[in-house]
Amino acid sequence: MGRKVTVATCALNQWALDFEGNLQRILKSIEIAKHKGAKYRLGPELEICGYGCWDHYYESDTLLHSLQVLAALLESPVTQDIICDVGMPVMHRNVRYNCRVIFLNRKILLIRPKMALANEGNYRELRWFTPWSRSRQTEEYFLPRMIQDLTKQETVPFGDAVLSTRDTCIGSEVCEELWTPHSPHVDMGLDGVEIFTNASGSHHVLRKAHARVDLVTMATTKNGGIYLLANQKGCDGDRLYYDGCALIAMNGSIFAQGSQFSLDDVEVLTATLDLEDVRSYRAEISSRNLAASRVSPYPRVKVDFALSSREDLLEPLSEPIEWKYHSPAEEISLGPACWLWDFLRRSQQAGFFLSLSGGVDSAATACLVYSMCHQVCEAVKHGNQEVLADIRSIVHQTSYTPRDPRELCGRLLTTCYMASENSSRGTCDRARELAQQIGSHHIGLSIDPAVKAVMGIFSLVTGRSPAFAVHGGSSRENLALQNVQARVRMVVAYLFAQLSLWSRGAPGGLLVLGSANVDESLLGYLTKYDCSSADINPIGGISKTDLRAFVQLCRERFQLPALQRCEAPAPRQPPPVAPGPLMETVPPFRGTWGPAASCHCCPVPRLWPGQAALLPLSQAGRLSFMVSVCLAAASWKHRPPPSWSPWPMDRCPRPMRRTWG
């Protein structure tokens, strides 16, 4: 009958500039899609070169190698008899575009440039690319000779067009275009396009999956149609983590959901859907049909190919499903842990080094490594050979197979409690107990000799000895002494990261992990070159409020009772040091309420009641911020936030206090 189509989308763990590896993952995804019966395969944005190439996009080599990968795809037998939609940079008339290249059986059907570039937050696409601004217009693109020799084509359409096959019409939009006020799928749907594709390079943000799914379902609810979304996954070389979440939707319902966090390099989703369901759904919406009668048509590229077969009467259809969301605490447990894994295996280091202080922040960082070990063991258990090969390379044992997360954590994580004369026994015990429960190799040491040596140099040169405020010193002396202790910890951390494995007769070095949360950065409450200075900081974009929820989740899920003590507030201590063994157990919010600070950095309104009033603060200055805090505080008067209270006045320094001297 020719009305049921099987389409495929995917999430790939692509590496920036890893052209050979990217090619193999693309071919593998196409092979899986064909094996599942798909006739159309959609891949992530810029999948050939990897999304995070940044200024390497300026290099002609990046364009050349992308064309070489495209040539390899065109001549591969794997790509025959399936429409392949891949992403790569293309130079057209000396202008660089972010493009989709759609081909079938060694013939390029269309090169579709991106029309709305992401240029906010972490994105800087306008730095490297130019948007295609000529809506519903195409030009001739002269193919390079290496491609002409394969396709026997001299030119192909380049621009804003759609594909018209024997049985349906397919239109493309790219990532940011879904998020714009007037997305291309609106007019394409009104012009009869039945299948929309979206190739994304969308990074993970807490609670972002809700917005992503809502946009797709609402697009197909209003206009009908089948919507395919592909996304990159993993860390492709920068500080961002792409969280997959590939999906297939139709008429407002989800029919296939990809994993949001996974160690699999290639994930392919397919769905078999009935085109008549789209047509009958649209026919019932009179307002849509009136708008369709006035829409300007898109250029159509005719394709002598059908996504359906003539004998599909008995072909089973996919059933709608309900999207399963992770809680914010689960997202923290899974997302940063996957990012740590990608960073570790690509850095060619042998593990991590963490200064474990006994407080919530460093405990949360340790739990992320432990969560990573759980995911690695689960992936190996389910037969992931790539993960097994990577972990064997990391531990330098060709026959090693991880089975116990605690044992694996002992190989990959070295923790260290760096005590000073001001440290308490309680924080030392908490750090040691947590290290024992997660299985990390734990070290305890004192930094007092190093601190005294540094201060001895100062006293020898100046003839004066600074003192803590409680010993009669000025605020400048007190701050300097705090900072010396914090910075000595950083120096010791890097020394042990380089040589601790050497001292144990093991090869390799360790990546230093930071443990400063985003609230401390917002409020300026950190010491420059202390625990906030590390190779990587997996909690640097997470608020204290979310971290506490994550720690509670780990305590219950991983059976880590030591975390309960880490969450407890610390009693008053002797002279304080910079954020570390003492200060980390006290909520580091100075001059404002903790929930207000956490809300200030939270981009999506899925918070406890009362915080919603502070959501406009995402772009507020200090005056607007404090006004909104006061208004919110009034609404909290009869319903205070759970487990939070204003900072005691006798311990409240000035707002935005800086502790870097």
34, 39, 114, 233: the catalytic one is 114
Catalytic annotation present for 296: no
Helices 544-557, 328-347: crossing angle, 10 deg rounding: 90
- Cβ proximity of 523 and 594 under 8 Å: no
Rounded Cα distance, 288 and 345, in Å = 50
Token code pair at residue 329: 């605490």
Catalytic annotation present for 99: no
Token code pair at residue 147: 């491609």
Residue 201's φ and ψ, nearest 5 degrees, are -130, 65
- Cβ proximity of 432 and 417 under 8 Å: yes
Helices 328-347, 360-381: crossing angle, 10 deg rounding: 70
Compute, in degrees rounded to 10, the torsion defined by CA atoms 9, 340, 441, 433.
Answer: -90
Exposure letters 519-533 (e unless 16+ CB within 10 A, then b): bbebbebbbeebbbb
4, 39, 45, 245: the catalytic one is 45
186: left (phi over 0), alpha (psi -120 to 50) or beta: alpha
CA distances from 661 to 465, 482, 486, 527, 556 (A): 17, 10, 12, 8, 40
46: Cβ contacts below 8 Å, ≥ 6 apart? 53, 87, 88, 89, 98, 201
Beta-bridge partner residues of 441: 414
Can you give 413-470 as a three-state secondary structure string?
A: EEEEEEECCCCCHHHHHHHHHHHHHHCCEEEEEECHHHHHHHHHHHHHHHCCCCCCHH
29, 333, 357, 598: the catalytic one is 357
Catalytic annotation present for 154: no
- Cβ proximity of 386 and 361 under 8 Å: no
Query: How many helices and strands in the chain, by DSSP H and E?
Result: 20, 20
Burial class (CB in 10 A: 0-12, 13-18, 19+), 262: buried
Amino acid of residue 299: P
128: Cβ contacts below 8 Å, ≥ 6 apart? 54, 55, 57, 58, 89, 96
What is the distance between the terminal CA atoms of the chain, rounded to a whole angstrom? 76
84, 99, 169, 175: the catalytic one is 175
Q: Where are the beta strands (DSSP E) in 275-333?
A: 300-302
Rounded Cα distance, 114 and 172, in Å = 9
- Cβ proximity of 81 and 141 under 8 Å: no
Rounded Cα distance, 7 and 308, in Å = 10
DSSP string covering 365-400: HHHHHHHHHHHHHHHHHTT-HHHHHHHHHHHT-TT-
Token code pair at residue 17: 């500039």
- Cβ proximity of 406 and 492 under 8 Å: no
Catalytic annotation present for 45: yes
Active site residues: 45, 114, 175, 357
